[in-house]
Structure 1
C-alpha cells in the first residue's frame, strides 16, 4: 500500500495537498506522447510522488509504468497549482495537486504500450492535431512548449 492510501486511512476524504509530476514526452518528429485515461480524457503521463521519491524519479517512473517508455533528461517547464486544479475523485477523496511539469526529448528505450490500469491507450500526437477530449493541462503544456521552441 502506498503513502497516499495510508494517509487516507488516517484522515479520510478530507482535502489534501498532493505533489505530483507529469512529463511532456516529445519524440524525434516533434509529436507529444499522450495517454487515454480510464475516464476517456487524453492526458500527459504522470502521477503522485511516493515517500523518499524526488519529482524527477516520480516523473520517470510514472512515464514508464503508464506507457512503457523509458526517459532520461528532464527539463522543468512549470509548476501548476491552485483551486482551478482541485480534484474530487469518484470515491469522494478530495485533493489540491501541486504538479511539477517536465519536458523530455530524451527517450532511452522501452516499447510504447498502455498499462491497461490507468492508461487505456498511449500514442504520439502532432501538437496541432490533438484529440478533442484532452486535459486542460495538455493545452497549457503545448503552449509552454511552443513558447520554448520559438
Structure 2
C-alpha cells in the first residue's frame, strides 16, 4: 500500500488489489499513443471518471463515464487497483488503464466540454488544468501509465 496527501491535506492510500466496493471509477485513457482526457466545465482538463450507479459493475461504470465525458468507446481495459481518500466520509475509486477504440462526436458531454487528446498531461495549460492532475496519487498512476508494460494491451 502506498500513501499520499491530496490537495486538501487528506490521506490517500493506493492499493494494487481487487475491490468490488468502490463507489467511483477513474480511467487513464490512451488512444494511438496519446492521452485522452476530458475538459470538466468547472475543474478543467482531467482524466474521466465518476460515480458507480446502483446495480452497475465497475467495468460498466468506467465504460459509461468515459463515453459520457469524451464520446469514446474503450477497446481494452485493464484494472490497476484502487485508492481511498480518507475523509470524514471516506470514498474509494477503482482505477483502470483503457485503450480507446473510437471517439464519437456528441452534442452533449454532460458535465464536461468533451474530449482532449494530448501527448502528455504536462501539455495542459495552467488555466485549464484540473487540480486533480496535481494530485500526487493520480500523478503516480499517470507515471505508471507511461510504461507500456503497465498499460492495457
TM-score (norm 2): 0.67
Q: How far apart are 1:98 and its partner, in Å?
A: 0.6
In the alignment, is residue 117 of structure 1 matched against residue 110 of structure 2? yes
What's the secondary structure of 1:73's corresponding residue?
Answer: strand
Partners of 2:145 and 2:41 lie apart in 1 by: 26
Question: Are the aligned partners of 1:112 and 1:123 in contact in 2 as well (CA < 8 Å)?
Answer: no
Question: Are the aligned partners of 1:67 and 1:115 in contact in 2 as well (CA < 8 Å)?
Answer: no
Alignment of 1:43-122 (within 5 A): 43-83=46-86, 86=87, 95-105=89-99, 107-113=100-106, 115-122=108-115
Question: Are the aligned partners of 1:38 and 1:120 in contact in 2 as well (CA < 8 Å)?
Answer: yes
Q: How far apart are 1:112 and its partner, in Å?
A: 4.7
Q: How far apart are 1:49 and its partner, in Å?
A: 0.7
Larger radius of gyration: 1
What are structure 2's unaligned runs of at least 5 residues? 1-20
The CA RMSD over aligned residues, in Å, is 2.6
Between stretches 134-143 and 39-48, larger displacement belongs to: 134-143
Q: How far apart are 1:148 and its partner, in Å?
A: 5.2
What are structure 1's unaligned runs of at least 5 residues? 1-16, 87-93
Distance 1:78 1:148, change over 3 A: farther
Partners of 1:95 and 1:130 lie apart in 2 by: 34
> In the comparison of the two structures, how many residue pairs are matched?
123
TM-score (norm 1): 0.68
Partners of 2:67 and 2:144 lie apart in 1 by: 23
